[in-house]
């Protein structure tokens, strides 16, 4: 059974650019969450999607957005990149809306220069 | 907003039992408590989940008191490969699907 797949694994972008990260959840998982991890702030919740609907959003500026497709795959987009956006972006999926046993992907390491 | 508090780091020796406690005062009635393990440059890995009292699986035990305002992850007989950061995860008391990780506890297992 394939795990959560995140692409790309590594990414280098320039300030001001935008970036799109992709997450393919485990087959059958309908809930997808995104987290940002930095050494200074730790793991911070970005947003969570269930059946193509964003159910909750963390305390991030509007430059951070996401969406979920009918096949449960999800993307997150960051526009007008800043140096502080450099982080490991993690995606997690689970089977049901009340299931807290999320399976995480290996993440996308974004470096903004 | 739900907040969790964990020790920043802990040291242990191989073969010892390790207990890591997480405080979560604003836990909602229907929230579960989940613990994850994370190695460098990897996503967190699910360890154990519970609602109340005690839960045990093949790798750990989770103790939750009656008021549910804290939880303790117990790792029996740790080995060097258990060196990692351990996070407890509870829901936000105001927003069910808005999860907060604790600050994490860096466990260092020494030979």
CA–CA dist B50, B48 (Å, integer): 7
Separation of alpha carbons A34 and B22, rounded Å: 23
Backbone phi and psi for residue B102, each to the nearest 5 degrees, phi listed first: -70, 180
The pLDDT value given to residue B3: 74
Q: What is the pLDDT of residue B92?
A: 59
Instruction: Give the pLDDT of residue B97.
Output: 59
Which A-chain residues 17-56 have CB contacts (< 8 A) with chain B?
Answer: 33, 35, 42-45, 48, 50, 55-56
What local confidence, expressed as pLDDT, does residue A100 receive? 60
Among candidate residues B54, B53, B42, the one with its CA nearest the CA of residue B84: B42
Q: Is the dihedral of CA B22, B43, A22, A62 positive or negative?
A: positive
Contact B41 A45 (CB under 8 A): no
Q: Which of A43, A97, A101 sits opposite B101 (nearest CB)?
A: A43
Average pLDDT rounded to a whole number, residues A62-88: 97
pLDDT score at A55: 86
What percent of chain A is predicted at pLDDT more than 70? 95
Which residues of chain B fall below pLDDT 50?
Answer: 1
Indicate the DSSP class of residue B81: G
Question: Is a pLDDT exceeding 70 seen at residue A98?
Answer: no
Interchain contact A92–B (C-beta under 8 A): yes
Confidence band for A1, pLDDT divided at 50, 70 and 90? low
On whether the CB atoms of residues A94 and A74 are closer than 8 A, the answer is: no
pLDDT at residue A101, rounded to an integer: 75
Residue from the list A43, A44, A88 with its beta carbon closest to the beta carbon of B87: A43
In the block, residue with structure tokens 């972006």: A89
pLDDT in tens, A3-39: 999 999 999 999 999 999 999 999 999 989 999 999 8
Locate the chain B residue with the closest alpha carbon to A47: B98
pLDDT at B94: 56
């Amino acid at each position: 059974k394939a795990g959560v797949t995140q692409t790309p694994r590594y990414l280098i972008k320039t300030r001001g650019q935008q970036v799109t990260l992709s997450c393919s959840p485990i087959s059958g998982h309908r809930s997808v969450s995104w987290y940002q991890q930095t050494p200074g702030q730790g793991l911070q919740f970005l947003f969570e999607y269930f059946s193509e609907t964003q159910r909750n959003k963390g305390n991030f500026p509007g430059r951070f957005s996401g969406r979920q497709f009918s096949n449960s795959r999800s993307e997150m987009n960051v526009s007008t990149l800043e140096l502080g956006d450099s982080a490991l972006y993690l995606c997690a999926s689970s089977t049901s809306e009340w299931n807290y046993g999320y399976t995480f992907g290996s993440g996308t390491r974004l470096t903004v220069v | 907003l739900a907040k969790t508090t964990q020790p920043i780091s802990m040291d242990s020796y191989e073969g010892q039992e390790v207990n890591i406690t997480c405080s979560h005062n604003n836990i909602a009635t229907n929230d579960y408590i989940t613990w994850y393990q994370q190695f460098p440059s990897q996503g967190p890995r699910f360890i154990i989940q519970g609602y109340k009292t005690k839960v045990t699986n093949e790798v750990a035990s989770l103790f939750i008191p009656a008021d549910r305002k804290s939880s303790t992850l117990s790792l029996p007989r740790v080995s060097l490969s258990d060196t990692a950061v351990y996070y407890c995860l509870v829901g936000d008391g105001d927003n069910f699907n808005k999860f907060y990780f604790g600050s994490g506890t860096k466990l260092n297992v020494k030979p």
